[in-house]
């Protein structure tokens, strides 16, 4: 069902939030922009301001004014990165700057207005003189828009790659004066470059594609994109380099994610708070994210995910994330097969928690289901299921008399929730919920934070993660007394149930042969309570797993001077204990390491240089804060994982304990450096040695000859 079809079925009341947020999701068309269809792909209503949008606006103004600027624009990126929205916004800017009074926009819209079952055209061409009178000579031309270069042209028997190749060939013609806008992904560019190289008849286009490929690749010393280096009439922009969750990208202003969430949290777009007040998780989500630094902290955590995963949040991802966090999917709002509105669902769950049949599964789970819909628990939804081993046996033995003990019944409520938590969270469909469950949580979960990180301050007294863990380890009552004022009503409802369970699982209430099982369940309840609290407070404060390392890494991306210790760490890992580089001669990268007795290495007498690569802050490129180290002549991207590993080595971690992926990276770097040094004749002047396995025999280069000698002789 499309956005327009949903809109037709929704009343004005249903379009208000929280119900209306369900239409934002990308897998329901909310984040999919269809060319010149007003009710698609812009759930925020207006175009989001980004550095690219500002650049496009300035470019159109300059071009209309007759300035010497590029007339060809390529937007490069994958699906959901905002290419279609950007070029459509560009057409809007042209319409306004030319004073076409909407005619240019209408003309393009008519070309993309196709019947159901028909594909929109690959390329639309509009003569500017047909939409505006008295144009200056430099605008008496056409605008060609290739909305999706991955599509073919039904009127031509050519592949998308061949079509793009021919168009680029035309654009390189000095007589070409038209304006050309194109949305293309890296795959099409790569295949087009291969075709140009194989045919050998488009040498100029092949050279252009080589520069384009370098331009959209993030690394130091990459060529300018705007204009493209060596091609003053062409500009391109890689859409997936600049982060949508990093406020530093947008000149210190709010990030793109901030702008998107601000629209979703706009009080005027929401219904009045429902009767549940703070016990409605959906209304409470809006209230929480509209207060203080909660939204800043959430966006920071989304940024940390980008750093640790190396993956960007796209526009479509963020449009899907908003309803996932604030409301959820329609399928999650069903009770006994009946689909309810978010607030109706919350009201029914609360009724079940207070009036449902005592001992029923529905009543036991209801408080946890309500609590789990708070945005911070949606972002980190995973819980152990406690259905195997000692937990299973302890529950079977100790909770069988729960009908006569309110506390044991409360404990059963927790275990009924955790047993189904994984299944319940899987109800939310789409790529973003899967990413949240499988990647964001395991990598960033605040429940896994330990130590002296401050989670809140009250009466000038700081409360740390350790304080919270210590209090809950003593009793849930002590924990509630410490953090109760900082938690949400729904979380306190759960903790109060667990308090009853905690008091009922005191060892003295059970036979001696059951005290170990009682301690196990009681400890489980206390750990659950502690983790619930850390997730709640940590997310609101932007504190997550590895937070200290994230802060150091962000500092390093902004201030390369702090990378010196990391540089030294990498240098030490590349050399042996005698500060010499060992270039392997018996193996290549990707092969198993030779047995020590068969290993052959070239021992370089001088150390390999490792330096900090200077960043390219060119105005003509997207901002990319990824730091690089230069090992001899090879650039090594300093990813978060590598940065963390090098920091841990500097702090005393033995290199044998490094993750396998870091070892693979080091092996690759050594192979690249080895490949260069073993071919460098200057190495022979530095008295190199060839070591043969574990033998004490050494091959040396003396007076132009290789001499076999014995070490120490």
Its pTM stands at 0.92
Q: Which residue has the tokens 């061949």?
A: 162
Task: Kindly indicate the confidence band of residue 3, based on its pLDDT and cuts at 50, 70 and 90.
Answer: very low
Q: What is the pLDDT of residues 536-552, one digit of tens each?
A: 999 999 999 999 999 99
Residues of the chain above pLDDT 70, percent: 93
- Of 122-131, 376-385, 497-506, 682-691, the one with minimum mean pLDDT is 682-691
Q: 200-214, 219-233, 294-308, 423-437 — which one is most confidently predicted on average?
A: 294-308
CATH class of 51-241: alpha beta
Rounded to an integer, what distance in angstroms lies between the CA atom of residue 267 and that of residue 260? Answer: 14
Mean pLDDT in residue range 76-94: 91
**pLDDT of residue 76 exceeding 50:** yes
Q: What is the pLDDT of residues 172-198, one digit of tens each?
A: 998 888 999 999 999 999 999 999 888
Q: What tokens were used for 381?
A: 């939804």
Of residues 8 and 212, more confidence is placed in 212
Of residues 5 and 391, more confidence is placed in 391
| pLDDT value, residue 444 | 97
**pLDDT of residue 75 exceeding 90:** yes
Residue (of 173, 231, 235, 184) closest to 193 by Cα position: 184
| pLDDT value, residue 594 | 54
Using alpha carbons only, how large is the chain's radius of gyration in Å? Answer: 31
Q: What tokens were used for 292?
A: 């203080």
Q: What tokens were used for 350?
A: 């609360």
Residues of the chain above pLDDT 90, percent: 61
Task: Kindly indicate the confidence band of residue 400, based on its pLDDT and cuts at 50, 70 and 90.
Answer: confident
140-176 b/e with 16+ CB inside 10 Å = b?
A: ebebbbbbbbebbeeeeeeebbbbbbebbeebbeeee
Q: What is the pLDDT of residues 476-518, one digit of tens each?
A: 999 999 999 999 999 999 999 999 999 999 998 999 999 999 9
**pLDDT of residue 595 exceeding 70:** no
DSSP string, 614-654: PP---TTS------EEEETTEEEE--HHHHHHHHHHHTT--
**pLDDT of residue 443 exceeding 60:** yes
Residue (of 677, 678, 610, 603) closest to 642 by Cα position: 610
Alpha helical stretches, state H, 176-255: 186-199, 203-215
Average per-residue pLDDT in the chain? 89
**pLDDT of residue 688 exceeding 60:** yes
Mean pLDDT in residue range 423-446: 92
Task: Kindly indicate the confidence band of residue 667, based on its pLDDT and cuts at 50, 70 and 90.
Answer: confident
Hey, how many other C-beta atoms are within 10 angstroms of the C-beta on 620?
Answer: 16
Long-range CB contacts for residues 386-395, cutoff 8 Å, separation at least 24? 386/415, 386/418, 386/419, 386/524, 387/419, 390/517, 390/520, 391/415, 391/520, 391/521, 391/524, 393/517, 394/517, 394/518, 394/520, 394/521, 395/521
Q: What is the pLDDT of residues 330-385, one digit of tens each?
A: 889 999 889 999 999 999 999 999 999 999 999 999 999 999 999 999 999 999 99
**pLDDT of residue 2 exceeding 60:** no
**pLDDT of residue 141 exceeding 80:** yes
| pLDDT value, residue 238 | 94
- Whether the CB-CB separation of 541 and 455 falls below 8 Å is answered with yes
224-244 b/e with 16+ CB inside 10 Å = b?
A: bbbbbeebebbbbbbbbbbbb
Task: Kindly indicate the confidence band of residue 4, based on its pLDDT and cuts at 50, 70 and 90.
Answer: very low
| pLDDT value, residue 558 | 81
Rounded to an integer, what distance in angstroms lies between the CA atom of residue 311 and that of residue 241? Answer: 10
Mean pLDDT in residue range 524-528: 98
Q: What is the pLDDT of residues 700-710, one digit of tens each?
A: 877 777 788 77
Q: What is the pLDDT of residues 32-58, one digit of tens each?
A: 777 777 766 678 888 888 989 999 999
**pLDDT of residue 157 exceeding 50:** yes
Task: Kindly indicate the confidence band of residue 8, based on its pLDDT and cuts at 50, 70 and 90.
Answer: very low
- Whether the CB-CB separation of 504 and 408 falls below 8 Å is answered with yes
Task: Kindly indicate the confidence band of residue 599, based on its pLDDT and cuts at 50, 70 and 90.
Answer: confident
Task: Kindly indicate the confidence band of residue 322, based on its pLDDT and cuts at 50, 70 and 90.
Answer: very high
Backbone angles phi, psi at 692, to 5 degrees: -110, 95
**pLDDT of residue 13 exceeding 80:** no
| pLDDT value, residue 6 | 42
**pLDDT of residue 592 exceeding 80:** no
Name the maximum alpha-carbon separation found in the chain.
97
Q: What is the pLDDT of residues 252-289, one digit of tens each?
A: 668 999 999 999 999 999 999 999 999 999 999 999 99
Rounded to an integer, what distance in angstroms lies between the CA atom of residue 89 and that of residue 331? Answer: 35
Q: Which residue has the tokens 């953090």?
A: 483
- The residues near 190 (Cβ < 8 Å, ≥ 6 apart) are 213
Mean pLDDT in residue range 621-636: 89
| pLDDT value, residue 1 | 38
| pLDDT value, residue 476 | 98
């Amino acid at each position: 069902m499309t956005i327009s079809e949903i809109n037709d079925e929704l009343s004005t009341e249903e379009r208000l939030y929280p119900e209306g947020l369900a239409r934002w999701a990308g897998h329901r068309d909310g984040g999919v922009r269809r060319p010149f269809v007003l009710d698609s792909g812009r759930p925020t209503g207006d175009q989001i301001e980004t550095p690219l949008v500002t650049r496009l606006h300035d470019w159109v103004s300059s071009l209309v004014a007759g300035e010497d600027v590029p007339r060809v624009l390529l937007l490069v990126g994958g699906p959901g990165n905002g290419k279609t929205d950007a070029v459509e916004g560009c057409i809007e800017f042209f319409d306004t700057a030319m004073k076409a009074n909407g005619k240019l926009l209408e003309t393009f819209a008519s070309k993309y207005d196709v019947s159901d079952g028909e594909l929109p055209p690959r390329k639309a061409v509009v003569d500017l003189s047909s939409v505006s009178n008295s144009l200056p000579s430099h605008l008496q031309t056409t605008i060609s828009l290739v909305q999706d270069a991955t599509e073919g042209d039904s009127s031509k028997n050519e592949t998308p790659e061949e079509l793009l190749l021919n168009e680029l060939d035309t654009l390189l013609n000095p007589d070409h004066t038209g304006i050309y806008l194109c949305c293309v992904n890296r795959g099409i560019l790569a295949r087009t470059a291969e075709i140009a190289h194989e045919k050998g008849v488009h040498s100029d286009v092949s050279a252009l594609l080589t520069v384009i490929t370098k331009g959209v690749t993030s690394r130091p010393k990459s060529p300018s994109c705007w204009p493209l280096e060596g091609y003053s009439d062409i500009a391109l922009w890689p859409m997936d380099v600049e982060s949508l969750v990093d406020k530093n990208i947008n000149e210190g202003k709010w990030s793109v994610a901030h702008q998107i969430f601000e629209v979703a949290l706009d009080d005027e777009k929401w219904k009045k708070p429902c009767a549940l007040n703070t016990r409605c998780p959906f209304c409470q989500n809006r209230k929480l994210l509209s207060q203080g630094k909660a939204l800043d902290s959430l966006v920071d955590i989304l940024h940390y995910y980008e750093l640790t995963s190396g993956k960007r949040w796209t526009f479509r991802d963020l449009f899907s994330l908003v309803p996932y966090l604030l409301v959820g999917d329609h399928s999650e709002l069903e009770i006994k097969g009946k689909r309810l509105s978010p607030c109706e669902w919350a009201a029914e769950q609360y009724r079940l928690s207070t009036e449902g049949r005592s001992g029923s599964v529905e009543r036991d789970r209801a408080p946890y289901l309500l609590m789990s819909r708070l945005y911070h628990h949606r972002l980190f939804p995973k819980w152990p299921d406690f259905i195997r081993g000692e937990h299973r046996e302890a529950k079977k033995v100790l909770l069988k008399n729960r009908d006569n003990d309110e506390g044991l019944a409360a404990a059963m409520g927790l275990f009924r929730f955790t047993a189904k938590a994984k299944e319940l969270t899987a109800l939310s469909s789409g790529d973003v919920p899967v990413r949240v469950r499988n990647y964001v949580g395991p990598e960033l979960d605040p429940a896994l934070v330990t130590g002296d990180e401050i989670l809140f301050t009250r009466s000038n007294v700081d409360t740390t993660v350790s304080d919270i863990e210590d209090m809950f380890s003593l009793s849930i009552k002590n924990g509630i007394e410490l953090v109760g004022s900082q938690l949400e009503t729904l979380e306190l409802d759960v903790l109060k149930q667990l308090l009853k369970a905690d008091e009922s699982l005191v060892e003295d209430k059970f036979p001696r042969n059951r005290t170990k099982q009682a301690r196990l369940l009681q400890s489980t309840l206390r750990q659950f309570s502690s983790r619930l609290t850390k997730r709640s407070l940590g997310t609101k404060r932007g504190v997550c797993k590895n937070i200290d390392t994230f802060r150091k890494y962000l500092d390093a991306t902004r201030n390369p001077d702090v990378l010196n210790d990391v540089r030294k760490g990498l240098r030490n890992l590349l050399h042996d204990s005698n500060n010499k580089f060992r270039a392997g001669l018996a193996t290549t990268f990707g092969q198993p390491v030779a047995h020590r007795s068969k290993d052959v290495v070239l021992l370089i007498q001088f150390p390999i240089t490792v330096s900090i690569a200077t960043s390219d802050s060119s105005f003509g490129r997207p901002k990319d804060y990824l730091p690089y180290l230069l090992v001899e002549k090879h650039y090594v991207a300093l990813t978060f994982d590598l940065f963390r590993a090098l920091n841990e080595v500097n702090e005393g971690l033995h290199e044998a304990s490094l993750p396998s992926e870091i070892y693979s990276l080091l092996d690759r770097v050594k192979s690249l450096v080895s490949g260069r040094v073993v071919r460098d004749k200057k190495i022979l002047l530095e008295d190199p040695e060839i070591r043969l396995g574990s033998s004490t025999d050494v091959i040396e280069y003396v007076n132009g000859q290789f001499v076999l000698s014995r070490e120490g002789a």
